[in-house]
Amino acid sequence: MNSRAPVNETEELHKNHGVAENHEASVSNRKVAILYGLIALISLAGLADSIYLTIEHISGRSVKCTIVSGCSEVLSSPYATVGGIPLALIGAAAYFSVFSLATLTAFEYKLAGTLLTLLVALMFLTTLWLLYLQAFVIGHFCQFCLLSAIVTTILTLLVLIVRKLHRWPSRVA
């Protein structure tokens, strides 16, 4: 333990500046961890939505829309499966992966943060494609698909915010 007193005012200023930087870094790290926790929590909404649609698809039941009309048309279209696998099941796997990666990143696993960013970017691009298909090819919208699009858009925005905070923390003047 170094208990010596600062020799001059400059040394005292540097010492106090270091304390301020450590405090700021601690606050920034806490904000980042909270945002990753929020990402994990929000991904659970997408996971629940995707699991519901997967169960309905596998059981052969028709999903009823209550807000917009068109769930049956969208979910029975050829775009609802990829190689025979329900798109909702792929979505469930993606949302579960987002939950897992966000949780790991909150605990400072850096690779998980990189993978999370890539996965959410891929999900966002897929969402844009699926919205295009609903609007211009199928001609109908599914409220559950729109919920997934909203969740993915929120996840994308949060990842962008947290990555910016993590890379460029504010500086002490």
In this prediction, residue 29 carries a pLDDT of: 85
Question: pLDDT by residue (tens digit) across 85-139?
Answer: 999 999 999 999 999 999 999 999 999 999 999 999 999 999 999 999 999 999 9
Q: Which residue has the tokens 């992966």?
A: 97
Give CA separation, 46 vs 52, 53, 79, 96, in Å: 10, 11, 19, 9
Point out the least confidently predicted range of 15-19, 73-77, 87-91, 167-171.
Answer: 167-171
Distance of CA 35 to the CA centre of its chain: 10
Residue 59 corresponds to which tokens in the numbers above? 């059981």
Domains of the chain by range and CATH? Answer: 9-167 (1.20.1440.130)
Q: How far apart, in whole angstroms, are the C-alpha atoms of residue 70 and residue 106? A: 38
pLDDT at 173 over 50: no
pLDDT at 171 over 90: no
Residue 40 corresponds to which tokens in the numbers above? 């994990």
- pTM given for the model: 0.83
User: DSSP letter string over 116-162?
Assistant: HHHHHHHHHHHHHHHHHIIIIII----HHHHHHHHHHHHHHHHHHHH
Point out the least confidently predicted range of 3-7, 31-35, 127-131, 163-167.
Answer: 3-7
